[in-house]
Amino acid sequence: MAWNWQLQGWPNFEWQPDLLRKREQTFMENAAIAVGTMRHLTQGDREDIVIELLSADAMSTSAIEGEILDRDSVQSSLRRQLGMAAAPFRSRPAEAGIAEMMADLYRAPLAPITEARLQEWHRMVMNGRRDIVDIGQYRRHKEPMQIVSGAFGRERVHFEAPPSDRLAIEMNALLDWLNKTAPDGPNPLAALTRAGIAHLWFESIHPFEDGNGRIGRAIAESALARAISIPTFSALSKSLLKHRKDYYAMLEAASTTLTLDDWLSWFADRALEAQASADDLVRFLIEKTRLMDSLRGLLNERQEKALLRVLAEGPDGFTGGLSAHNYATITGAPPSTITRDLADLVEKGALLRTGERKATRYHLNLNIS
């Protein structure tokens, strides 16, 4: 099997722009609406949204690689990186490193992708790693860079990247293309198309010993943000994590061809899904603020603690809804108190009740549909 970088014509990818035209238009229209919404929020609300989106992306891009991060640690690191108030919280190297890269993406949406920036991102992502030789540098080993699965003796090679001695040439070609196809470049490309190609191209080169997936997804996020020309984030990795199996399968299929219609169509759908999820989060945080403002001074300590715990789960709340058992776990209240507290929260409009007896569940009463 020949990999894409071994094919005649590499890296001259082919695709049909008409297949993506409607998706590209939808992406830009949705972005304009999101920008308008953000401008009507208070600074505190904007900061909360930024932290939620950046932390969701940081945790998801790491989870794709099988690394589970602590949410509080990531968010605390992000607040420090962005100069926002942060409670004292000692972050592990992994959380601090990925947060630093996400903060750099957010602070500099118009900054070009350069070799120096990529190498700095690699140092951030590899923060605390002692098993990587070439941190902050392209790989230099002579052994093939392969993505392999399966037990010893029954390995399956999903992809093999170009050898180390070709990396300078390959990366220079990609970086030159990124500059030329930027919105202000001589050959600008539409946002989803440029992001999808950039991500696949970078993954095909696989220039670093480790961390290529996280950096490749950061490149895609950078391409999407640069098309909008303001600091914004859609938490693309959250959508890719949701479709992780298909994501790997699509990357593998695209690694043997220069025709990218299938990959770009799939990637565009994931980017639009991420955009819609980010919009849901923005509306959720707006409604969360509205709800808590309307209840200020009306809740007892138990009710406030339980409500904040449910709100911390995000737009989806507790899976299946809040139960009396959940309430007891959160507050430690006895059954008779739980019944009164929950009934009062329903009466005050904070929760909606469904079901009866043991099947009774409570859901946030937010207008985010």
pLDDT, tens digit (0-9, with 9 covering 90-100), for 137-175: 999 998 888 888 877 777 788 999 999 999 999 999 999
Q: Is 297 annotated as a binding residue?
A: no
Q: Is 244 annotated as a binding residue?
A: no
Assign domain 299-364 to a CATH class. mainly alpha
Q: Is 30 annotated as a binding residue?
A: no
Number of residues that this document lists for the chain:
369
Q: Is 4-285 a CATH 3.90.930.12 domain?
A: no
Residues 260/249/148/4 CA torsion (nearest 10 deg): -10
Q: Measured on CA atoms in the order 148, 144, 9, 211, is the torsion positive or negative?
A: positive
Q: Is 296 annotated as a binding residue?
A: no
- Concerning whether 206 is annotated as a catalytic residue, the answer is yes
Model pTM score: 0.88
pLDDT, tens digit (0-9, with 9 covering 90-100), for 111-123: 999 999 999 999 9
In 10 A of CB 67, how many CB atoms?
Answer: 13
Express as a percent the part of the chain with pLDDT over 90: 74
Domain positions in the chain are 4-285, 299-364
Q: Is 210 annotated as a binding residue?
A: yes
Residues 6+ apart with CB under 8 A from 272: 23, 26, 27, 30, 192
Tokens 């409670």 label which residue? 87
Given 199, 206, 243, 363, which residue is catalytic?
206
At 87 the pLDDT is 60
Q: What is the mean pLDDT of residues 349-365?
A: 92
